[in-house]
Amino acid sequence: MPNNITKGIIFLIFMIFSSATFVIAQPADGENEFRLATANPHTLGGDTLTSDAGRGMWVAQNPDLDNDGLPELIVTEYTKGGRVFVYEMVGDNQLEFVW
């Protein structure tokens, strides 16, 4: 019987430490960062933002291009003569169309 109690205590300690690492790994302020280095438009589905928009994405070292404290996202689209869209991250998972 002591063997089962020892196994239970070890399992409980393991679960406490495991769940603590999940809590620590989450950002405290809710800010999310996504980094996509490239996207191959020929292998993706019918999403026009990724499959028809271009040949990939580049991630800047400092994505805050106008130094207002909010990072920008630049999207290019090559139909209709080519266009550039600029979005600014204004909140948690919220983008605002800038240009």
Q: Which among 93, 87, 53, 83 is positioned nearest to 72, based on CA atoms?
A: 87
Domain count, the chain: 1
pLDDT tens-digit readout, 36-49: 555 555 554 554 45
pTM of the model: 0.41
Q: pLDDT, tens digit, for every residue of 69-97?
A: 888 888 877 777 788 888 888 888 788 88
Task: Give the span between the Cα atoms of 33 and 26, in whole angstroms.
Answer: 12
Q: Name the residue range of residue 93's domain.
A: 2-97
